[in-house]
Chain A
Amino acid sequence: DAKTTQPPSMDCAEGRAANLPCNHSTISGNEYVYWYRQIHSQGPQYIIHGLKNNETNEMASLIITEDRKSSTLILPHATLRDTAVYYCIVRVASSNDYKLSFGAGTTVTVRA
């Protein structure tokens, strides 16, 4: 699976949109982009995933560039409870027998 690169940390203001970048320049055409987050001392929580098109759900939006070499997770109105480590992961879409491998992620701190 392709490797991802994320900034180690970022701060954002409560109530503002948080834009989390992820580079996956070696991504293949059959690989999904997944986002999970981990709040301190809890298990990871699924956020969103996409292949080519932008995606939106009740938690966030995922913007994937046209060349698919990078993506941005958008938390539209960050709250203090969104403080967590956010992981961007790519995995092969064509395989049902996949394993999720976690990198270092981005530590996001939402400040009042």
Chain B
Amino acid sequence: GAVVSQHPSRVICKSGTSVKIECRSLDFQATTMFWYRQFPKQSLMLMATSNEGSKATYEQGVEKDKFLINHASLTLSTLTVTSAHPEDSSFYICSARGSVAGHYYEQYFGPGTRLTVT
């Protein structure tokens, strides 16, 4: 299957700082990327969807000015958590889906990034 990587796998930052998480599709071109958040013992919650070269579409209740998403190329999307606070501590997971000539691949997930805000 297709491979999606995330960097870093773990990050600890101080309250009030910003942190950037990268998501890369390693062996396919991802026309669409998704960002999910998962709190302990809960399911994944979709935060936003981004198409390459377009602005991200955020799910209801997700602050677009706090969670900045950039999908500038077909293999890279970044999520920046701005002015992070302890309640932003969570497991952030990206997902990517590619397409060729109108045929869409399945959605593949990265390994996740554990963010801890102190």
Contact = CB atoms under 8 A, between A and B. Distances in A.
Nearest to A45: B109
Given A44-B93, A44-B109, A99 B4 contact: no
B11 interface: no
B104 A99 contact: no
Contacts of A99: 34, 46, 49
A3 B107 CA distance: 19
A104 B108 CA distance: 19
Given A43-B109, A44-B109, A96 B104 contact: yes
Interface residues of B, number: 25
B91 interface: yes
Contacts of A103: 43
A49 B107 CA distance: 12
Interface in A51-109: 87, 96-97, 99-105
Given A41-B112, A102-B45, 12 more contacts: A38-B44, A42-B111, A42-B112, A46-B109, A49-B106, A96-B102, A99-B46, A99-B49, A100-B46, A102-B36, A102-B43, A102-B44
